Amino acid sequence: MSVATLQMRGIHKIYGAGVTEVRALDNVDLTITDGEFVAIMGPSGSGKSTCLNVLGCLDVPTSGQYFFRGVDVGTLNRDQLALLRRHYMGFVFQSFNLLPRVSALGNVELPLIYEGVSPARRRQMSLEALRVVGLEGRADATPNKLSGGQQQRVAIARALVTEPPLLLADEPTGNLDSARANEIMAVLSRIREERGITIIMVTHEQGVARFAERVLYFVDGKLVKDGSPDDVLGEVTR
């Protein structure tokens, strides 16, 4: 059936040492296959964001192995990790993380600049990405001229402009009201259907998590539940 895209084996992430030691990830084993839509949930400090950062190669685990499409990420150097992020991953953050004073188009073009795409092609691809998220009319607007929902859609366009197979989202709706949140989730679901990409999303909102088809539930750095939204969420709320 589906291939194991991401595989974590005995991953630990430990901050500090001795009495102040914090186990952000405690012996996590998980496998995520191509095309899945996964929500990572858990109370604050449960390690869900850390898990996403490790999956996105933004953070390195203290111990354990993480395989990305069969490659042991622990053996890669900084630049190789950067190239991995560049070609295989797109990121969406809670606080949007757009470059201020740079137009929406400029923000979306940024990953293509690092890829060395020519200016004309860059512009064309970015406009297309903005069209996908419904913002082709605001290409020249800087982030401070855009609403929160619009900024997040620009961020999604930036994450997808390089057509990566994997989208990582850290609380993508955390700064938005529920109407905007549903809009964003609708955009993400639609893109997933059209492109068949893998989406891994951290959230603490059950309504948002229900857009996913699989939920990982973390407590104190441990993966305690793994199943369909109905199973996991039903159990957690009970």
Binding site for other proteins (CB under 8 A): 53, 56, 58-59, 78-79, 82-83, 85-87, 90-91, 93, 97-99, 101-102, 110-111, 113-116, 158-159, 162
- Closest approach, Cβ 60 to other proteins, in A, equals 9
CB-based contacts of 189, cutoff 8 Å, min separation 6: 37, 211
Give the residue from 63, 49, 64, 23 showing the smallest Cα distance to 170: 49
Query: Which among 218, 180, 31, 161 has a CA at the least distance from the CA of 94?
Result: 180
Shortest distance, CB of residue 160 to other proteins, whole angstroms? 11
| 42/143 with CB nearer other proteins | 143
DSSP designation for 145: G
In the complex with other proteins, which residue's Cβ is closer, 54 or 181? Answer: 54
Residue pair 95/151 in contact by the 8 Å Cβ criterion? no
Question: To the nearest whole angstrom, how small is the minimum distance from the Cβ of residue 182 to other proteins?
Answer: 26
Nearest alpha-carbon partner for 160 in 96, 101, 84, 109: 109
**Residues 70/52/219/183 CA torsion (nearest 10 deg):** -130
Least Å distance between CB 98 and other proteins? 8
Q: Which of 89/232 has CB closer to other proteins? A: 89
Token pair belonging to 80: 């190789």
Q: Which is nearer to other proteins, 13 or 214 (CB)?
A: 13
Q: CB 137 → other proteins: shortest distance, Å? A: 23
Q: How far is the CB of 101 from other proteins (least distance, A)?
A: 5
Rounded distance between C-alpha atoms, residue 231 and residue 212, angstroms: 12
Q: Which two tokens stand for residue 184?
A: 């964003």
**Of 33 and 97, CB closest to other proteins:** 97
Given the complex with other proteins, which of 204 and 210 has the nearer CB atom?
204
Q: Are 28 and 92 in contact (CB under 8 A)?
A: no
